Amino acid sequence: MGVSRLGTSAGTDGGSIVVGWLTRIVVVMAIIGVIGFDLMAIAQGHVSASDEADEVAQDAHNTWTDTHDVDKAYATADGEVKAKGDRIPKGGFTIEPKTGYVTVRVQHSVDTLVAKRFGFSRAWATMVGVGHAQDAA
């Protein structure tokens, strides 16, 4: 009478199946986590760009109100934006001289794990916020 290998073989195969499924679950959860991180970073970047543009526009408007000098208002806006590591794209700053209505576009980039590393998705990690400011009516 020999020892049955049926029980031993089934136990080993069952362990392999469990390890295989656990590995798949861990990999899927890691992928979901990376995608979730990138999506949250991009969403937060949109809000940050918009808020920053509004703040910069208000500060540029205040400088314009005090000096009526477009160059000084732009310097104020550009200095604040650069201090945060962002930039004002070409044509992204205007002031209506008669009304003092200021419009500022701020280009803001966010750190992502995946999106900034590929050509097709690099633009997703860069967003433009538009801010406006004028005297209260």
Pick the residue with more confidence: 2 or 84?
Answer: 84
pLDDT tens track for 67-119: 999 999 999 999 999 999 999 999 999 999 888 899 999 999 998 998 888 88
Read off the pLDDT of each residue in 9-15 and give the average, rounded to a whole number.
Answer: 60
Alpha carbon distances (Å) from 37 to 40, 67, 68, 104, 128: 5, 44, 44, 29, 20
pLDDT at 64: 93
pLDDT band at 130 (very low <50, low <70, confident <90, very high): very high
pLDDT band at 4 (very low <50, low <70, confident <90, very high): low
Domain ranges of the chain: 6-133
Contact 108, 25 (CB under 8 A): no
pLDDT at 105: 96
d(CA 136, CA 132): 12
What rounded mean pLDDT belongs to the chain? 88
Does residue 3 carry a pLDDT above 70?
no
Place of tokens 């590591």: 85
Taking the CA atoms of residue 97, residue 101, residue 102 and residue 103 in that order, the dihedral angle to the nearest 10 degrees is -120
Type of residue found at 100: G
Does residue 58 carry a pLDDT above 80?
yes
- Other beta carbons less than 10 A from residue 127's beta carbon: 19
Does residue 2 carry a pLDDT above 70?
no
Does residue 128 carry a pLDDT above 70?
yes
pLDDT band at 65 (very low <50, low <70, confident <90, very high): very high
